[in-house]
């Protein structure tokens, strides 16, 4: 049985006090949702410590949205994986399309970040996904395969056991456009097949999340698909009711 995960990527939203309030509300409503659902929140770096304090007795887990390529030292403005791990983060989102697109992150960058994450006991949530042009040209399979081959294929078998993948079509992120449940299933199954080429049976255990305008009205249909193990949620993760309602979307 693969883990069911609903992870909130808060991106560059909320001030510290708002983040704490959001975490408090999620925690307060968490018992309305099946215990089988693993909730994760990923606040901005600035409020991870405060949110960690808020969630210290909670089953809601904590992640960061990024980490540095290096362990420590003279890298002004960067945040090391060891620092976020020390605050209580269990996860780190890596390779989000916004990082690839706006901050020029390449597979080379991401291989270093993955190494830092594992060296500090963090589970990466590694994002892959094609843009609209690539989808229209029918290249979405090839794009996802390359993003996996160039980074995930460098992991050891042990590391691979602690990995979450998020498939996030760039054309669906923050646009209100969602992949259909069938589109999601098609590519999730494909990603699992690519993973199996390298990691064999362990690929069946790897959670693959869908991300991109996931909301209460479409989560249930998408999560019902065989190879979809939950969601990486942006906009809807900022509203407690929506975030929890997405968790209720699990019926399997």
Q: Which residues are catalytic?
A: 96, 168
CB of 72 to ligand PGA, least distance (A): 28
Q: Which structure tokens are listed for 105? A: 């992150």
- Residue 61 DSSP one-character state: E
Residue with Cβ nearer ligand PGA (194 or 219): 219
| Closest listed residue to residue 83, CA positions, set 100, 98, 70, 96 | 70
CB of 150 to ligand PGA, least distance (A): 21
What does 123-182 look like in DSSP terms, one character per residue? EEEEEE---HHHHHTT-HHHHHHHHHHTTGGGS-HHHHTT-EEEE--GGGTTTS----HH
Residue with Cβ nearer ligand PGA (144 or 233): 233
Which residues of this protein are in contact with ligand PGA, per CB under 6 A? 9, 168, 173-174, 211-214, 232-236
CB of 140 to ligand PGA, least distance (A): 17
Q: How many helices (H) and strands (E) does the chain have?
A: 11, 8
Residue with tokens 């808060």: 10
Residue with Cβ nearer ligand PGA (214 or 228): 214
CB of 73 to ligand PGA, least distance (A): 30
Cα distance between residue 103 and residue 97, in whole Å: 9
Cα distance between residue 91 and residue 244, in whole Å: 19
Write the Ramachandran bin of 11: left for phi over 0, alpha for psi from -120 to 50, otherwise beta: left
Residue with Cβ nearer ligand PGA (134 or 168): 168
Residue with Cβ nearer ligand PGA (33 or 222): 222
CB of 123 to ligand PGA, least distance (A): 16
Tally the residues of the chain.
Answer: 252
């Amino acid at each position: 049985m693969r883990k069911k995960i609903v992870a909130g990527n808060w991106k560059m939203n909320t001030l510290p006090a708002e983040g704490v309030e959001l975490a408090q509300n999620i925690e307060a409503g968490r018992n309305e949702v099946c215990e089988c659902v693993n909730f994760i929140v990923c606040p901005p770096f600035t409020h991870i410590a405060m949110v960690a304090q808020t969630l210290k007795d909670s089953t809601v887990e904590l992640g960061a949205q990024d980490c540095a390529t290096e362990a420590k030292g003279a890298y002004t403005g960067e945040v090391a994986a060891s620092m976020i791990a020390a605050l209580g983060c269990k996860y780190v989102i890596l390779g989000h399309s916004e990082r690839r697109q706006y901050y020029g992150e390449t597979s080379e960058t991401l291989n270093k970040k993955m190494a830092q994450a594992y060296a500090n006991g963090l589970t990466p949530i590694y994002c892959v996904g094609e843009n609209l042009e690539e989808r229209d040209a029918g290249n979405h399979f090839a794009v996802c395969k390359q993003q996996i081959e160039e980074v995930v294929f460098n992991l050891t078998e042990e590391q691979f056991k602690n990995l979450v993948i998020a498939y996030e079509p760039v054309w669906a992120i923050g646009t209100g456009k969602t992949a259909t449940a069938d589109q999601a299933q098609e590519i999730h199954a494909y990603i699992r097949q690519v993973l199996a080429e390298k990691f064999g049976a362990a690929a069946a255990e790897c959670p693959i999340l869908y991300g991109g305008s996931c909301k209460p009205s479409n989560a249930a249909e998408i999560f019902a698909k065989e190879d979809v193990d939950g969601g990486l949620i942006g906009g809807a993760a900022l509203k407690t009711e929506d975030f929890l309602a997405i968790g209720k979307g699990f019926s399997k």
